[in-house]
Structure 1
């Protein structure tokens, strides 16, 4: 495939911001042929735009907090990994000692930390051999395609999402070789495929939701989900239904309209939902129909139930087999953790691991005998099958330990608060508490029953420091809601107390005696 810059009349007619000019000057995919050279000359001698911008097209993120120690984001469609792939990731992380770690993201994905540029060619080769990739996993590209973490084993499954998430990823990335048709979007793009009625994915730009139409299984299309500093809203139905073999064609039509006409001068207005709202939802559907052809109306699809908890031992749809839902506190793993998880998946299951959007793991294919053995494994002392309700629902972004955008140390503060609150409170059921270090909301704060967004706040002595804006009321299911601001500028030192008050007053928690 020839990688080229995407040039169309839109770029000639509209003003472009600095980032757009850089992308037009040189497509990020073009640095792929230079990675060997970069590894030899070192990051200090690279062109600044290649270093800080274009390397993201290969998943390699310059981190100002840790100069020279990069973050590498992978692509793992549907969050499905083999034990061998986990071991490859573990060996990469292990190379960097205390600087190396691995985070499960809210897109069923992995981010590796501490990566050195000199190792990137070899890392990409090893990932490729293991069936993994990092291509187009960052910046203005289509991000990891998510789906049902229980795909293929779900007793409540409508469709197995794995073939569709893989098909969509291969389409968007040209089989992970790089696809210049989608390498210069106005902003990032999120795609998801639901497999059951409780797969809540309405925070994505496009969602394929399985539903029958006159006895034929296909997908209804939901569009426009967004979580951002400017706007937080769930996707809405486009009133379009397609057959399974049409999903790539309809996706292509939708993205092209936005790619060629979306905002490229004011970056804060570049997201797909903002374009939809600007031109009107019905007008956008009309434009899709002009390019795609006659559209079949949606027969009616809904997200019926609240998302299930995957924790504990649960029966698969295959008779006599079980899956184990295991809690990974705030999604952070060491090389040793990864190796131990890979070993457990082989020892007790079928050697497969699933990643969930709430940063946990699922081991599949356990027999009843192996279930009892797993329960005695020391791995569960680190990663329990039955976490307490506050810890179970805690989700966190990277935080300012590594991310220069984050205003707060989310992961450490989330871990500490969850542990202490679980010790102090009885909570009737799991509550989703989403922590995000900045308004970019990688931690999906507005989806949480309680959301915490990093900001600056004055402490009791009047000194400015880390703080949070608290939102409450985010929900998923039949009548989903976006969280609403409840309190602003809560000093980080007071956040546990603030959480405790809200859990008691709003969510039925009681003090332990």
Structure 2
């Protein structure tokens, strides 16, 4: 086996699966110099491994569901975007008409749909000019660094996470130029920095949680959060506290230990948590100390009851300013939506929006004098401040509309289900319902009070063949009593799912049937009309 460069000598002598062999032969970052050539050749002429694997190092994902129309994933540390950046994204997806769209992800990020390879060099140039990039945003790389979506404006924040998420992103990606030290990890790596006591991020590989020690504000360190087909669990405390100027060095130390010793043959076992469990948290801490130096014990990170809801209008820490949490149905936006959000951010706020991990947006910097005008804006008919209790907590992965791994059409099924159940039931509070189309759990199913994982099941009532179905998990929650959901029922056919959910909501979550179904005037109809008008190659699977 030929190893691509001296930086990858840690692979020598290891048994490598096919993907690892391809990565070792040619690093994904090495296709950067070939992007212009790829664009001129056309995707049909590009080497298959470059096309389907290595382009992901530049955020470009080959989608078998839509041949020739790629998904492009950005990097947006802490989910912070200004109006100019939003307009640039809008112009990119707008170029592709009905084939173009934009999804907010569960990592405070954006994924653009319908992108053509011939446009990639120009798109990357425009993104760079706007202060955005896509480098190492996919596959076995450090993913988008997440933080408190209210960073800098949160009346309850302990630290403003934005400087730290930006510093970590620059460290992990070499200032956005690509970092060969971390471009060949055993699997993906998720980094997060919490900013408040309810900023729950323990599903990440490494989490820095703010806590004071001897009068100095620093971070307690948690490791090994995982949501996957093999295992679902929250992170474990490393019993380590670091100063703010040490977070990058500690992250590099931990990443290097895993990079050099993690599983490279059995890919499902390649995630960091699998390696951590094989070593043991105490033994791993000793390994970290050997490379990093002495670690101060964690004085104790504290979590409040549960994460706050961002919906509605709330005061910022700055006197006279407010933020507005707006619901984006299943996180999907088109070019017009993006342009209108950019305009709203300028007309009513500071020209900035924040992306949340539950696929919604926060408009920031609204002055008291602008609140009445903002609340009268028709934009809130599309993106309401107070969505229904089920719609409010609905999170969904891409689904089989675009993703070849997904077994179910999660996006519009989740939308339809939330619309119908909110119309029929009254709930005492928002319910977290997480939909994911396959066991890879991009929709974070096991974090939801109700989690739905796509599968296949035999057609009900003696029908023929297999149909779309869901495994159902319950009681996932965040906060001081955090727990991962547990499997409740397997293989519920899609045709029976609504009745199952309705019964659960009444029996376990205090839902009451409405005397008369509510006549919703929410964004569902607009969304479904737009969704059904997508181009032929992008239409939902039956």
TM-score (norm 2): 0.93
**1:18 corresponding residue in structure 2:** 18
Equivalent residue of 2:145, what SS?
A: coil
Aligned mates of 2:28, 2:183 — CA distance in 1: 7
Residue of structure 2 equivalent to 1:179: 179
Aligned partners of 1:79, 1:210: CA distance in 2, in Å? 19
- SS of 2:302's partner is coil
Q: Following superposition of structure 1 onto structure 2, how do residues 309-348 of structure 1 map, counting pairs within 5 Å?
A: 309-348=309-348
Give the corresponding residue for 2:210: 210
1:8 and 1:260 in contact (8 A); partners too = no
1:24-81: per-residue Cα shift (whole Å, max 9, x none)?
0000000000000000000100100000000000000000000000000000000000
Aligned to 2:480: 478
Q: How does 1:62-211 map to 2 (within 5 A)?
A: 62-211=62-211
Distance (Å, rounded) in 2 between the aligned partners of 1:426 and 1:327: 19
| C-alpha distance in 2 between matches for 1:369 and 1:220 | 40
Structure 2 CA distance for partners of 1:350 and 1:46, relative to 1, 3 Å: same
Asked if the contact 1:230–1:268 (Cα under 8 Å) also holds between the matched residues in 2, the reply is: yes
**Match of 2:219?**
219
Aligned-residue CA RMSD (Å) = 0.8
Instruction: Tell me the secondary structure at the aligned position of residue 12 of structure 2.
Output: helix
Deviation readout 1:445-473 (Å, 9 max, x if unpaired): 00000000000012222431100000000
Which structure 1 segments of 5+ residues have no match?
A: none
Matched, 1:456 2:462: no
How far apart in 2 are the matches of 1:370 and 1:496?
41
Q: State the match for 1:506 in structure 2.
A: 508
Contact 1:348 1:370 in 2 (8 A): yes
Change (3 A) 1:218 1:126: same
Distance 1:393 1:457 in 2: 26
Q: CA deviation at 1:10?
A: 4.1
- CA apart distance, 1:368: 1.1
Taking the aligned partners of 2:305 and 2:217, their CA distance within structure 1 comes to 20
Aligned positions, number: 510
User: What is the Cα deviation at residue 302 of structure 1?
Assistant: 2.5
Tell me, what secondary structure is at the counterpart of 1:200? coil
- The secondary structure found in structure 2 opposite 1:13 is coil
SS of match in other structure, 2:68? coil
User: Structure 1 residue 5: deviation in Å?
Assistant: 3.7
Paired residues of 1:28 and 1:57 also in contact (CA < 8 A): yes
| CA-CA distance at 1:9 after TM superposition | 5.3
Unmatched runs of 5 consecutive residues or more in structure 2: 516-542
The 2-side partners of 1:295 and 1:476 are apart by 27
Contact 1:5 1:180 in 2 (8 A): no
Alpha-carbon distance in structure 2 between the residues aligned to 1:76 and 1:210? 21
TM-score scaled by length of structure 1 = 0.99
Displacement of 1:305: 2.5
CA contact (8 A) 2:7 2:180 kept: no
Q: Does 1:263 align with 2:263?
A: yes
The 2-side partners of 1:335 and 1:376 are apart by 22
Q: Which whole-Å CA distance do the structure 2 matches of 1:496 and 1:339 have between them?
A: 35
Conserved? CA contact 2:169–2:175, under 8 Å: yes
CA distance in 2, matches of 1:99, 1:138: 22
- Aligned-pair CA distance for 1:510: 1.1
CA distance in 2, matches of 1:35, 1:5: 21
Instruction: Summarize deviations over 1:408-461 as a string: whole Å, max 9, x none.
Output: 000010000000000000100000000000000000000000000000012222
Partner Cα distance (1:237, 1:323) in 2: 33
Deviations 1:247-278 (A, max 9, x none): 00100000000000000010010000000000
Q: Please give the alpha-carbon distance, in whole angstroms, between the structure 2 residues aligned to 1:261 and 1:13.
A: 12
CA shift, 1:7, in A, is: 4.6
State the alpha-carbon separation in 2 of the partners of residues 463 and 511 from structure 1: 34
- CA distance in 2 between counterparts of 1:124 and 1:10 reads 31
CA apart distance, 1:8: 5.0
Q: Partner of 1:168: helix, strand, or coil?
A: helix
